[in-house]
Structure 1
Amino acid sequence: HIIKAIMNWFRKVFTKITKIEIKDDVWNGFVQFVKFGLVGLSNTVISYATYYILVPFNVNKYVASVIGFILSVANAFYWNNSYVFKKEDEEQRSPVQAFIKLFLSYAGTGLVLHNILLWFFTSICHISDYVAPVLNLLITIPLNFVLNKFWAFRAKKKK
């Protein structure tokens, strides 16, 4: 609830300063995107922490990376399913289908698309190896949000 309180405070301050009233549905979408971003941040921490904990114990770096990825996807599923894209009482959603779709969207954007974009930005556009991953995020984060919101965690009205 602290995030909701902070976001509501931010909305009031923004409205007071700009004199622009934000519609509730637009605001709720923005708040959902911020929550999604916080989950993504925690996924990154889990993935990197797992990697940096396992590698010193002579776990192969690729195995450590895959374990970190799997743990971060499990974390993403829990928080996205129960907090970010929480279904309403009148809605139904298969948790197994949602998990499979989430895994596919993360694998598609996080592994496949990320590497294609990395190649494109560095080899074709000659952008720095250090800047290209940041540019990737500008594409993959919104895409992942859309995939999760409208595909992986899309709920249907109960019949």
Structure 2
Amino acid sequence: MATVKRLLTQFVQFGAVGALNTALTYGIYLLLYQHISPTLAMAVGYGLTSLLGLALNKQWVFKDRGGQLSWVTFKYYATYGTTFLLSLLLTSLWVDGFRLPAALAPMFSLAVTVPVNFFLSKYWVFTQKGAPLHASKHTASRPTNHS
């Protein structure tokens, strides 16, 4: 039961990081879009907040105290790139295939991409040798039975 509770806690924390990043990206966009192109303003906002998201997910959500930062960073951005492409595919499917209203399509896409992103982050990005880095020291230091 503790594992399910921990999983739910991490999912809520992951969502909070995403919500904070979204709000900050929009704030940065609002500050910049009249001075530089809107596309560049969004890129700056996304770039800055993605670094914040990496740091918060690494330290607060998944308690990753190890791992090579360059490899974790690569996997983090590969995961976000993958879920971004999945979001584009799903949005097209919802609108063109299922004829859902275009205004609602992103919500349906998020219902799929957020959990996918969470599980990829938990079990691939912030892991070491296949085990989540937040595992207790007791679990990591237990002797194994080799018989």
- TM-score in terms of structure 1 length: 0.77
Alignment-derived partner of residue 120 in structure 1: 93
Q: Which residue of 1 aligns with 2:46?
A: 69
Q: Deviations over 1:6-43 (max 9, x none)?
A: xxxxxxxxxxxxxxxxx111101110111111001111
Are the aligned partners of 1:46 and 1:71 in contact in 2 as well (CA < 8 Å)? no
1:102 — aligned with what? 76
Listed as ranges, the matches of 1:20-39 within 5 Å are 23-39=1-17
Unaligned runs of 5+ in 2: 132-139, 141-147
RMSD, matched Cα: 1.8
Letter aligned with residue 69 of structure 2: P
How far the C-alpha of 1:87 sits from its partner, in A, is 2.9
Counterpart in 2 of 1:151? 124
> What is the CA–CA distance in structure 2 between the aligned matches of 1:95 and 1:67, rounded to whole Å?
22
| Per-residue CA distance 1:46-87 (angstroms, 9 max, x = gap) | 221122211122x11211121122112101111011110113
Does the CA-based 8 Å contact 1:114-1:136 persist in structure 2?
A: yes
Alignment of 1:36-55 (within 5 A): 36-55=14-33
TM normalised by structure 2 equals 0.82
Deviation at 1:155, TM superposition (A): 2.5
Provide Cα deviations, 1:124-143, integer angstroms capped at 9, x if missing partner: 11111111100011000000
Q: Is the 8 A contact 1:73 1:106 kept in 2?
A: no
Partner of 2:56: 79
CA distance in 1 between counterparts of 2:113 and 2:23 reads: 17
CA deviation string 1:81-100 (max 9, x = no partner): 11101136xxx311111111
Q: Distance in 1 between matches of 2:86 and 2:30?
A: 24
Given residue 12 of structure 2, which amino acid in structure 1 is its aligned partner?
V
- Paired positions, count: 132
Structure 1 runs of 4+ with >2 Å offset: 155-158
Seq. identity, % = 28
Verify the 8 A CA contact 1:118 1:132 in the aligned structure 2: yes
User: Counting helix residues as a fraction of each chain, which structure ranks higher?
Assistant: 1
